[in-house]
Amino acid sequence: MPKRWSGDGVLAETTAGDRAPSGEHERDNWDVAVWKVLRDRPLGYLLTPWPLRSLAYVLSGAVLGYALLIALTVLVLAGVTLSVFGVGLLILVAIATIGVPVAAVERRRIRLVDPEPLADPHSLLSGVGLKGWFRARLEERATWRELGYVVTLGVLGTASGAAVALLVAFSGFLAAAPLLVWAVAPETVTLLHGDPVAAPADALPASAVGFVGLVLAGYAAGLLAGAQVKAARFLLSPRDEGLSTRVIELTRSRARLVDAFEAERRRIERDLHDGAQQQLVALSMTLGLAEMQVREENARARELIARARGETGLALEQLRRLVRDIHPQVLTDHGLAAAVTEVALHNPIPVTVDIDLPHRLPTLVETTAYFTVTEALANAGKHSGASHIDITGRLRDGRLYLAVTDDGRGGADPGTGAGLRGLADRMAILRGRLTVVSPLGGPTELRVEVPCSG
């Protein structure tokens, strides 16, 4: 099975050519289960259990809301009245936390019309005592949102539920009018138009109106249930309060670590170039001078000096290659396109490079993209059996889109190695995405999408 690896470090199943759309984790406006049924099966909705479930949810919410409204009224009046004695303040404090148990009930009741559970936004408390529990809950914003939900359910939930209940009761009465007229005959029944109805057949028009009303009540219950679920999600679900600040700080910390790494890399590169590399050059020159000073009759010494010069040259060449691998000078001087082209020229598999960028990119973006390409080329050379590799790169809407595609056997699993995992982590720091699509039989495509602004 091909894999997709997004830049946030999440490895997920995908198929060839599958792309993660922007906003794929966001909900749409019809994400409530009962609303999805209304949207997908508007005519068949009445033949499903959803109308009854929606009615049960709305009507039970009206009963619960009415009880909460009475309780809130009584507690507020008692708290205000007794506040002069001090006890009322305790009652008012207790009112602030009334939403906590109500929200716990609502998170279970919501399953009537939406199978997706709501998580508890409160922190876990143990061994804090009653006073500590109240103090901790009053400091949480979720407690006050839950209190707002109690007021909303008490007012709007009661009103909407009562309206639906009246519509169902009146429509049910009209729908059963022929049976009612038949049951009380020879007495007469007064229906919609105010005239007495003596025969069941005369009540059929009223019965038709009643059935229409029941249909409308079923749809109204579904719409109201979905609206109440939306309100419950908004007020009762966990929020990222504080988390967003921590995430921003974490991202900045990770970016600072990357900057520190780059600074350290440049220092090592500079030390190798200006320190160890120059010392090896000086050593080679010294050995050359020594070789010239050795007398002709000391052939053994001349041979050893020549060998030392050869080994010094080899060490110098390896050191230069190491410096180039740490950070190629062409990347610093000429940018991503030139650096990738140079790597492609030395790659054992033929590579076609088509990178067209209107200007230089930020240093971190260029460095990350370059090493992503080199890692992809190395993996293709080791595992793919490819005969050709294509590299394309474009800048659109302030984002770099880079793709490395080979015609190899496919079936690559990015989860088996640490190279791509490290690149994905770097992409996460840049708020980018790294995607690997590799169906069996090929081709294998590695795609990079990374913003080029802060």
Q: Which DSSP string corresponds to 108-121?
A: HHGGGT--SPPPP-
Q: Residues near 137 by Cβ (< 8 Å), separated by ≥ 6? A: 97, 100, 122, 143
Residue 260: the pLDDT is: 58
Give the single-character DSSP code of 43: T
Is residue 63's pLDDT more than 90? Answer: yes
Q: Which of 56-65, 214-223, 415-424 is least confident?
A: 415-424
pLDDT, residue 216, reads 93
Neighbours of 423 (CB within 10 A): 24
- pLDDT single digits (tens) 64-118: 999 999 999 998 888 888 877 777 788 888 888 888 899 889 988 988 888 877 8
Distance CA 337, CA 330 (A): 10
- Higher local confidence (pLDDT), 9 or 327: 327
Q: Would you say how long the chain is, in residues?
A: 454
Q: What is the pLDDT of residues 103-158, one digit of tens each?
A: 889 988 988 888 877 888 877 766 667 788 888 888 888 889 999 999 999 999 99
**Lowest mean pLDDT, pick from 95-109, 271-285, 390-404:** 271-285
Tens of pLDDT, residues 158-194: 999 999 999 999 888 888 888 877 877 777 677 666 6
Alpha-carbon span 402 to 400, nearest angstrom: 6
How many Cα atoms are found within 13 Å in the side-chain-facing hemisphere of 394? 3
How many Cβ atoms from other residues are within 10 Å of residue 192's Cβ? 13
Instruction: Tokens for 389, please give them.
Output: 């590799």
pTM of the predicted model, to two decimals? Answer: 0.49
Helix axes 243-271, 363-379, angle to 10 degrees: 80
E-strand stretches of 357-421: 389-396, 399-406
Residue with tokens 């009854």: 52
- In the prediction, which pLDDT does 14 show? 33
- In angstroms, the CA 329 to CA 327 distance is 6
Arithmetic mean of pLDDT, 259-286: 64
Beta bridge partner(s), residue 449: 401, 433
Residue linked to tokens 């650096």? 339
What is the spatial distance between Cα 241 and Cα 174, in angstroms, rounded to a whole number? 51
- Nearest alpha-carbon partner for 222 in 48, 29, 26, 67: 48
The pair of structure tokens assigned to 360 is 């230089």
Q: Is the pLDDT of residue 330 over 60?
A: yes
